[in-house]
């Protein structure tokens, strides 16, 4: 399943009052250069390849409300133009079928009234790498740099990635209270919770193994334990890295649990 990423949108224009055609909007849907709450930085040029591929195909990039791919009425429009600017990925979109699709009509009203201030996009990572750095106090401040992305769709949404971990905790608490009150969870929710539980176990096991490896001394023979080539290639230049809590938050956020219906 593709990943999703949200940001505080800069809705630059929406509708005739801003000099556009009815149903049109202009927004920055991805910001370059800032570290988001899951430790990612989108680098300028990350969309160059995928935008060229979309133009070559001649198909429009879909505009979908809140990544709701399963609902055909959430497919509210198309991207008329997409380009990289110094600030980020800027799109001009067209909300369509506002006369026949109540979801599209409401999304357009939200955009015009600036009652929705977040945008999101779905993507896969074609190229990325960890960048190890320190802050001015010498503490680890590394991030994951997204250098080449495959874009699938963009769209407005209510909540961005900066609130991801807080929302995840709130959702878990709400589910727990509902179960205690006798609520029955759908099997799809149970499956997602089981997947999240497994992901947490994997992250904690990896963090424990990494801590153990740091304290393990070399054998008396003087031979160091063999390191698998793949692990060696991915090892950071510094021994320090994201804390287990940071890794866990990143892993959970990238599971897309935030966008799942409660």
State pLDDT tens for residues 113-163: 888 878 889 999 999 999 988 888 888 888 899 999 999 999 988 765 433
Q: Is residue 258 part of a domain?
A: no
Q: Encode 171-185: b = buried (16+ Cβ within 10 Å), e = exposed.
A: eeeeeeeeeeeeeee
Same-domain pairing of 136 and 232 = no
Question: In terms of residue numbers, what domain contains 246?
Answer: 165-253
Mind spelling out the 3-state secondary structure of 207-230? HHHHHHHHHCCCCCCCCCCCCCHH
User: Is residue 126 assigned to a domain?
Assistant: yes
Q: Are residues 129 and 23 part of one domain?
A: yes
- Which among 5, 246, 236, 46 is positioned nearest to 128, based on CA atoms? 46
Pinpoint the alpha helices (H) of 67-156: 102-112
Q: Identify the domain boundary among 108, 130, 158.
A: 158
Are residues 73 and 175 both part of a single domain?
no
- Whether residue 190 is found in the same domain as residue 226: yes
Question: In which residue ranges of the chain is pLDDT below 50?
Answer: 161-171, 173-174, 218-242, 244, 247, 251, 253-262
Q: What mean pLDDT, rounded, does the chain reach?
A: 74
110 and 57 in a single domain? The answer is: yes
Question: Helix 244-253 and helix 164-180: axis angle, to 10°?
Answer: 80
Domain identity same for 129 and 202: no
φ, ψ of residue 122 in degrees (nearest 5)? -105, 140
Same domain, 100 and 219: no
Going by C-alpha positions, the residue among 189, 148, 168, 143 that lies closest to residue 52 is 148
pTM across the whole model: 0.60
Determine the Cα–Cα distance for residues 143 and 246; give it in Å rounded to an integer: 11
Residues 226-235 pLDDT 10s = 444 444 444 4
Q: Is 108 left (phi over 0), alpha (psi -120 to 50) or beta?
A: alpha
Looking at the structure, do residues 19 and 78 belong to the same domain, yes or no? yes
Question: Does one domain contain both 169 and 209?
Answer: yes
Residues 146 and 180 in one domain: no
**162 within 8 A of 54, measured Cβ to Cβ:** no
Q: In the prediction, which pLDDT does 15 show?
A: 78
Instruction: Please enumerate in sequence order all residues whose Cβ is within 8 A of that of 16, keeping only pairs 6 or more positions apart, or say none.
Output: 22
Please state the domain count of the chain: 2
Residue 262 lies in a domain: no
């Amino acid at each position: 399943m593709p990943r999703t990423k949200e940001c505080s949108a800069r809705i630059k224009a929406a509708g005739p009052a801003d000099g556009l055609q009815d149903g049109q909007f202009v927004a920055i849907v991805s910001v370059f250069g800032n570290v988001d709450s899951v430790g990612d930085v989108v680098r300028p040029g990350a969309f160059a390849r995928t935008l060229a591929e979309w133009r070559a195909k001649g198909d429009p990039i879909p505009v979908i409300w809140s990544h709701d791919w399963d609902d055909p009425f959430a497919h509210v429009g198309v991207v008329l133009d997409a380009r990289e600017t110094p600030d980020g990925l800027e799109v001009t979109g067209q909300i369509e079928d506002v006369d026949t699709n109540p979801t599209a009509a409401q999304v357009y009203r939200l955009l015009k009234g600036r009652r929705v201030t977040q945008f999101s996009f779905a993507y896969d990572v074609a190229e990325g790498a960890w960048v190890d750095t320190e802050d001015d106090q010498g503490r680890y401040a590394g991030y994951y740099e997204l250098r080449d992305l495959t874009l699938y769709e963009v769209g407005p949404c209510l909540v961005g990635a900066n609130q991801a971990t807080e929302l995840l905790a709130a959702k878990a608490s709400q589910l727990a209270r509902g179960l205690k009150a006798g609520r029955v969870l759908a099997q799809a929710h149970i499956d997602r919770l089981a997947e999240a539980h497994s992901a947490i176990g994997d992250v904690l096991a990896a963090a424990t193994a990494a801590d153990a490896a740091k304290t393990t001394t070399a054998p008396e023979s003087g031979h160091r334990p063999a390191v698998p080539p793949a692990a060696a290639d991915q090892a950071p230049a510094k021994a320090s890295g994201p804390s287990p809590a940071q890794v866990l938050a990143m892993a959970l956020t990238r599971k897309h649990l935030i966008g799942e219906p409660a």
